[in-house]
Amino acid sequence: MAFTDELEPEADDIWTAIVEHPMVERLGEGTLDEDPFREWVRQDYYYLREYGRTFALAASSARRLDRMGTFAELLHSTLNTEMDLHRSYAAEFGISEDELEATDPSPTTRAYTDFLVRTAAVETFGDAVAAVLPCMWGFNETARRLAADGVPDHDQYAAWIEMYEGEEFTELTDWCLDLMDEVAEESTAADRERYRERFLTSARYEYRFWDAAWRRESWEV
Ligand SMILES: Cc1ncc(CO)c(N)n1
């Protein structure tokens, strides 16, 4: 059985919890208040910069040229295509680019991005792949499940769903799933157990990331 097929049951429970979270549910229905969504855009802007850094680190530890090249492309498309979506949201909401860039990360945003960067910086290439897989798989799956119920009558939320369920993002997700399977096959059972843990940690943070924006999480003191 492919490694990602083994991960699927646990992943599926987490994607289901995400789609049932009030923030995601309302985004899908088009009834979400704009305040938590603005908070999400700001936090995700910080997230994407660190996510891009994670790709840069994965590129630097890839031994195969094709994998190195794809991570370099991912770095480029994150900083340009994906962050452009966030810049356009910000412009529509009257948030300046300077303000976006100056966002302080919430405790969850900090913890999640530190986890990604740390994993790619000090662990193996396979650990880095396992840690970034939920970012692609989770968003693609969430957007596809929301789209299956129809796209909301709200421009920004519809754009969100279209971006993450679209062909380009779906292809990236499939590439990352295949890469995880290839790397897992080249690895030992102990490596695979560690990849599973790294994967689950990121997937759980994916849930928390929505919840933190919804609750407008901040430091207590
Ligand atoms: C938190 C989070 N996870 C995944 C993605 C997909 O790139 C994103 N933009 N933000």
Domain locations in the chain as residue ranges: 3-215
CA of 38 to the centre of ligand 1 (A): 15
Nearest CA to ligand 1 atom 4: 135
Which sequence positions are flagged as catalytic?
Answer: 135, 206
Can you tell me the ipTM of this complex?
Answer: 0.98
Query: What CATH architecture applies to the domain 3-215?
Result: Up-down Bundle (1.20)
For helices 155-165 and 22-29, angle between their N-to-C axes, nearest 10 degrees? 110
Nearest to 3 by CA among 135, 204, 189, 145: 189
What residues flank ligand 1, with Cβ below 6 Å? 44, 47-48, 82, 135, 139, 206, 209
| pLDDT by residue, tens only, the chain of 221 residues | 999 999 999 999 999 999 999 999 999 999 999 999 999 999 999 999 999 999 999 999 999 999 999 999 999 999 999 999 999 999 999 999 999 999 999 999 999 999 999 999 999 999 999 999 999 999 999 999 999 999 999 999 999 999 999 999 999 999 999 999 999 999 999 999 999 999 999 999 999 999 999 999 999 99
Ligand 1 mean position, distance from CA 140 (Å) = 10
